[in-house]
Chain A
Amino acid sequence: MDKKLGKLKDHYMDIPIPKELDDVVNRALQTSTKKRKVAYKWSIGTVAAAILLIATVNSSPSAANAMSNIPIIGKVIDVITFQEWKEEKDNQASMDIKVPAISGLDNSGLEASLNEKYIAESKQLYQEFTKTLAELKEGENANMAVTSGYEVLTDNDSIFSIRRYNVITQASSSTEMQFDTVDKKNQVLLTLKSLFKNESYIDVLSENIKAQIAEQMKSDPNKIYWVSEDDPVRFEKIDRNQKFYINEQNKLVIAFDQYEVAPGYMGPVEFIIPTDEISDILVGKEYIK
């Protein structure tokens, strides 16, 4: 028996190690080293030799037009694509970064700080993209696509929510989301904590999300979340500053990045929290109904 096990082990050890393993491991280690930041690191080659095509930094006429086009009646906050960086290279690399700019907020300090943040984060993404390309060896393909953009989720009398996303595709893709929600009446940026009377929101929201997860997994066996008792990285609680927004129906939506609570193929996931579940601990009924 021992001899047979030995033979089996030899076979096991003969499983060929593909040459791609190093790359896959290095890339995975690099892309995730900075938790919850826009920044991504890409694979590091050595010699800087890739031929860079033209970097079209684009403050287009249409953007300028849109800037002057703040509506007087109706919705007050306006979002335009302030800049778009778009590149397509001959070594299988492409990039499309749209930078949003918000206008029409009475609180000009808040407006400026949001816009500065958007520009700074987009710039960082752009720089990392060009840096990665510069580090490729000559003739090596980047096989990389970066798409960054935004979407206004909610814009009603009281709330303005915007979602920004970065999708980085390199063999497989990873998606990251950022959200900002502004209270239009008081002209302040909302935090998750500020919506609630006390810290109990962390447990209340977490329990509700776990119940939703259980329900989803029961009704659709293709859905997998990391919640089982013995899962080494199971979801237990939301972060105190968990990503969130308020949707058009005035419901609170809790958002998770890809890989945060579920396998990669599930993508980023969101949970709409039934208002009944949290009405006791909400500060007011203004934002969430």
Chain B
Amino acid sequence: MVQDIRQLLITTITEKKENYYRLAYSYVKNKDDALDIIQESIKKALISVDKINDSQSINSWFYKIIVHTALDFLRKHKKVTLADVDTLEFFSQGHEDDYQNIDLQKAIDDLPVKYKSIIILRYFEDLKLEEIAIILGENINTIKTRLYKALELLRIKMD
């Protein structure tokens, strides 16, 4: 049973690795860190594979791990950059990979993380609200409210 789920997990990760990468990237904004998030998430997932009790939810479960790992990463780096002016400058100047259309992208990047996550998962990754609720560990009504709020914020920024 655990072996089957492990195999399923490996298959899922292999098939959807590009989706996972994009999601990781959307948090950390550069290739190297995004790859680190992917690597760490996979190790984390394989070590805890016996905690999956529903093979249906493997995809959401792995998205959830990515979100958590990315947030842990941001949390850590925020602390580091606050502590060190040079690092802060380094990160703010040169660390982000370039975007083709800054304005449009900026609108979404400027959203607080909790709103940004919902927009990405709902509209870019095409996940159902139920799945997003699992991934973000909130109940579905909270997710709905937050999605509405996110769209509103986005509209103000883009108009």
Contacts and interface: CB of A to CB of B under 8 A. Distances in A.
Contacts, number: 121
Interface string B44-80: 1111100100000000010011001100110110011
Contacts of B158: 4
Interface residues of B, number: 51
A66 B5 CA distance: 49
B22 A12 contact: yes
A11 B47 contact: no
A77 B68 CA distance: 46
A13 B76 contact: no
A232 B123 contact: no
A200 B10 CA distance: 35
Contacts of B48: 232-233
A14 B36 CA distance: 20
B51 A7 contact: no
Given A8-B104, A8-B124, A264-B40, A231 B99 contact: no
Query: Could you say which of A29, A222, A233 has the most chain B C-beta atoms within 10 Å of its C-beta?
Result: A233
A274 interface: no
Contacts of B68: 226, 231-232
Interface of A: 1, 4-5, 7-9, 11-18, 20-22, 24-25, 27-29, 31-33, 35, 171-172, 174, 221-222, 224, 226, 229-233, 259-260, 263-265
Interface of B: 6, 10, 13-14, 17-18, 21-22, 25-26, 31, 35-36, 38-40, 42-48, 51, 61, 64-65, 68-69, 72-73, 75-76, 79-80, 99-101, 104-105, 107-108, 119-120, 123-124, 137, 151, 154-155, 158
